[in-house]
Structure 1
């Protein structure tokens, strides 16, 4: 556990954690605006460009929980430093990638480092800011920075792509910033670890990694190879088998990779589903919008990035405001605003074409910024609310994984829609993609209302209770004399 941290150091620590997520978000969305240029450089089609994005997000989603549990055991600062180091090295390799294949491989390396940053930084914030209102405000800033990073990426990426430096500098710029963050981390971040760390779950990790990779492969390559072709059928079969294996295997472990018992809390389960939906909407938005503005409208990368500036500006202003509203009024209002904003954006852009007025696009991007800024804090707060402090790392790991699964599926589905119809993001199949975004927003609105009822809040208490005794053959070493590991009941993990 962490020792007491002074208020000024908390502020600096929060700023450092925000810088790490800013790096990752800018890199992820900056690549989106560079996709047309990368495609022209390497002669890549829609599926190849989708892999440039999803190789990163699949790896993130697959290894976030592993990084979170490893940080609980070995120390959060130690894993945070290791993650920054790998991310910097991966960024440098992406900058010199000679082919599309190597770029995709190096994106995987980059994501392995990033996987150790988001959930660990979120866990550090959760353990240092112990008061609920203080934590809500900190998570509001955190959520605002997430939105800001994802929105600033197209602007920074567009400026670099259109400059003499070229698209490779989208990756290279991470190196000096990452090194500076590394030096500051050693001075500011206190070491902390869970008193009850989990053991590694190799079979669970295999199920998660293989299942996500197979599902993404099936969605992206389905339009190219045919939905009923043998490779695509096999990919979906592997994904289904991995899901079944995960549901059967995890409840039988005392230290599961995924604490399925957490999902007995409806607010927790709903927050993770809303995380999937909101990041699917954002990932789809950035992918479709970049191809629409540059491919169909003919704008330069910089102009395309500047056009989404309203999204970034709104995220800066409303992210912290959302945290304060959450602290005072609870999650219902922010979630209603989030679902409405994201859904309305999908409807507004579903009619976009080559002659759509720019003011209409700017209005749609502003509405998307409002929805994106409103959703971050409540889903982050729901991930840790009511959880035992020593289980915060597990809960935040699941929450961060849900976000990346959403981003992965959003891009994969958008790419499949475009690949099937040959559209570039406006009408046609692109219009179908925007209607899917409208559906994501509507689902967030419904879940936000349902998860904030008194009955839903009562279900959250089901995730805590007396710690179970490990079943025979799956015992864990005691954390100390006379102690038992407190954890959430998880199916058959009590041996019943």
Structure 2
């Protein structure tokens, strides 16, 4: 029952990633939202999630994982209910942010609950594998379920469906999930958290708002200066803390740094793909939400299937072949979509979706494996939290970049989207190249040296 309870959290979080994109054209029509408004509907969730993942993990370790998990479920369900009641774009964006506050307490905390509940290594491996399968299947079901709900009940229903699932998960957690916490909880790093929010928020806002203001405007320049100052502040402040929110030392490992950058780049491709493809199918091709969801299902199905295959490839051949194949497939899928138009054949679209889904499905396991390779066990939680933050950040940036390209284009959505698809093709190529660099002999040797240094620092800190 513990595993079932955790599954419910990954289901609602996984569904919310893909189900909301299908509703964007309906939201645009009813709330009279510009493209930048649709960007904020998506990015309010992913951005707030990215900012709070590490903080939520530390809260759970300190105050109790079951307690924080239940609070997260409650906030996520409340935010979902309010999203469905929103009467304006601004209200919807605010409620999406509330959803994300709760969402940041779900998957990372649920994973720590699984890790502490299933102490046997074989049982834990099976539980984690089942967890990954549930995440893949929920993402695959999102486009179809979203299409059914939007076509039958309207866009508000895609948020309301989370409420009963969240309520059930809260009850099951209270009944079956044992409380646990870390022996020594991390102290709250208020300044570090503020700097993370300043960096991620200002970068995303600058990219989204640049079509309206221009790169030379004082507003955009100010946001970019704030982002640069926040990064510098993080490096200085967090490197001096004994218990930092962001442990800068883990970036000394080329393998981890490479995996972090690949996380951003690969998730940029996914975020941009979901955003552009939804608008293309419904606004350009005139398909209903259900038709668009069904047409996108092959991508999500290929993603789920290849996520399972990826583990076998990494186990047999290491991370490098999986990275290269994933990057090439991502580039091939988005490259095909560069040439889409009003009359592009369905078979052509399905082929592109299958290639893209397969590529993204392959990239997850080597990302995790490379990020944690050479990392001492006592830093695994920190490394995992930072990697998750990079994933969420990449999704937000992908939506921001692609939305800005199509919003700022003077030739219309279709012509501008070709430029955006080209950018996403570059993300696929970058994934393959960075995978080669971060899994080479030099990177592995540096990762081992970094691991020894981190272990030495941790040992000295406990004395």
User: In which range does the TM-score fall when normalised by the shorter chain?
Assistant: over 0.9
Separation in structure 1 between the aligned mates of residue 26 and residue 282 of structure 2, nearest angstrom: 10
Separation in structure 1 between the aligned mates of residue 316 and residue 126 of structure 2, nearest angstrom: 10
Separation in structure 2 between the aligned mates of residue 447 and residue 396 of structure 1, nearest angstrom: 19
Q: Is 1:258 equivalent to 2:246 in the alignment?
A: yes
Equivalence for 1:283: 271
Separation in structure 2 between the aligned mates of residue 193 and residue 460 of structure 1, nearest angstrom: 30
Equivalence for 1:113: 102
Equivalence for 1:79: 68
Partner of residue 307 from structure 1, selected from 289, 295, 298 = 295
1:136–1:330: structure 2 CA closer, same or farther, 3 Å change rule? farther
1:368–1:359: structure 2 CA closer, same or farther, 3 Å change rule? same
Are 1:88 and 1:178, in contact at CA under 8 Å, matched by a contact in 2?
Answer: yes
Report how far residue 390 of structure 1 moved. 4.2
Separation in structure 1 between the aligned mates of residue 5 and residue 379 of structure 2, nearest angstrom: 23
Partner of residue 467 from structure 1, selected from 434, 444, 457 = 457
Separation in structure 2 between the aligned mates of residue 429 and residue 136 of structure 1, nearest angstrom: 45
Are 2:19 and 2:158, in contact at CA under 8 Å, matched by a contact in 1?
Answer: yes
Q: For structure 1, which segment, 358-367 or 195-204, has the greater mean C-alpha deviation from structure 2 after superposition?
A: 195-204
Are 1:33 and 1:290, in contact at CA under 8 Å, matched by a contact in 2?
Answer: yes
1:129–1:260: structure 2 CA closer, same or farther, 3 Å change rule? farther
Separation in structure 2 between the aligned mates of residue 81 and residue 277 of structure 1, nearest angstrom: 32
Equivalence for 1:431: 418
Equivalence for 1:52: 41
Equivalence for 2:408: 420
1:424–1:54: structure 2 CA closer, same or farther, 3 Å change rule? farther
TM-score scaled by length of structure 2: 0.93
Separation in structure 1 between the aligned mates of residue 322 and residue 120 of structure 2, nearest angstrom: 20
1:23–1:106: structure 2 CA closer, same or farther, 3 Å change rule? same
Q: Is 1:366 equivalent to 2:354 in the alignment?
A: yes
Equivalence for 2:138: 149
1:400-424 per-position Cα deviation (integer Å, ceiling 9, x unaligned): 1011100110000011001111566
Are 1:47 and 1:419, in contact at CA under 8 Å, matched by a contact in 2?
Answer: yes
Q: Is 1:65 equivalent to 2:54 in the alignment?
A: yes
Partner of residue 30 from structure 2, selected from 20, 41, 49 = 41
Report how far residue 161 of structure 1 moved. 1.0
Report how far residue 148 of structure 1 moved. 3.8
Q: Is 1:345 equivalent to 2:333 in the alignment?
A: yes
Report how far residue 108 of structure 1 moved. 0.7
TM-score scaled by length of structure 1: 0.87
Report how far residue 292 of structure 1 moved. 0.5
Separation in structure 1 between the aligned mates of residue 364 and residue 437 of structure 2, nearest angstrom: 18
Which stretches in structure 1 are left out of the alignment for 5+ residues?
A: 1-11, 471-483, 487-496
Q: For structure 1, which segment, 322-331 or 303-312, has the greater mean C-alpha deviation from structure 2 after superposition?
A: 322-331
Matches within 5 A, 1:138-287: 139=128, 141-163=130-152, 165-287=153-275
1:241-288 per-position Cα deviation (integer Å, ceiling 9, x unaligned): 111111121101111110111112222211111111111110000000
Partner of residue 452 from structure 1, selected from 420, 435, 439 = 439
1:435–1:78: structure 2 CA closer, same or farther, 3 Å change rule? same
Report how far residue 52 of structure 1 moved. 0.6
Separation in structure 2 between the aligned mates of residue 82 and residue 391 of structure 1, nearest angstrom: 26
Report how far residue 138 of structure 1 moved. 5.3
Separation in structure 1 between the aligned mates of residue 438 and residue 401 of structure 2, nearest angstrom: 26
Are 1:143 and 1:373, in contact at CA under 8 Å, matched by a contact in 2?
Answer: no
Separation in structure 2 between the aligned mates of residue 162 and residue 221 of structure 1, nearest angstrom: 31
Report how far residue 141 of structure 1 moved. 4.7
Q: For structure 1, which segment, 451-460 or 352-361, has the greater mean C-alpha deviation from structure 2 after superposition?
A: 451-460
**Aligned partner of residue 228 in structure 1, secondary structure:** coil
1:402–1:312: structure 2 CA closer, same or farther, 3 Å change rule? same
Separation in structure 2 between the aligned mates of residue 29 and residue 213 of structure 1, nearest angstrom: 22
1:395–1:127: structure 2 CA closer, same or farther, 3 Å change rule? farther
Q: What is the number of residues matched between the two proteins?
A: 460
Equivalence for 2:87: 98
Separation in structure 2 between the aligned mates of residue 138 and residue 320 of structure 1, nearest angstrom: 14
Equivalence for 1:3: none
**Aligned partner of residue 457 in structure 2, secondary structure:** coil
1:485–1:430: structure 2 CA closer, same or farther, 3 Å change rule? farther
**Aligned partner of residue 466 in structure 1, secondary structure:** helix
Aligned CA-pair RMSD: 2.3
**Aligned partner of residue 245 in structure 2, secondary structure:** coil
1:140–1:373: structure 2 CA closer, same or farther, 3 Å change rule? farther
Q: For structure 1, which segment, 286-295 or 394-403, has the greater mean C-alpha deviation from structure 2 after superposition?
A: 394-403
**Aligned partner of residue 81 in structure 2, secondary structure:** helix
Report how far residue 85 of structure 1 moved. 1.2
Report how far residue 227 of structure 1 moved. 2.0
Separation in structure 2 between the aligned mates of residue 429 and residue 315 of structure 1, nearest angstrom: 27
1:338–1:248: structure 2 CA closer, same or farther, 3 Å change rule? same
Report how far residue 346 of structure 1 moved. 1.4
Separation in structure 1 between the aligned mates of residue 118 and residue 260 of structure 2, nearest angstrom: 22
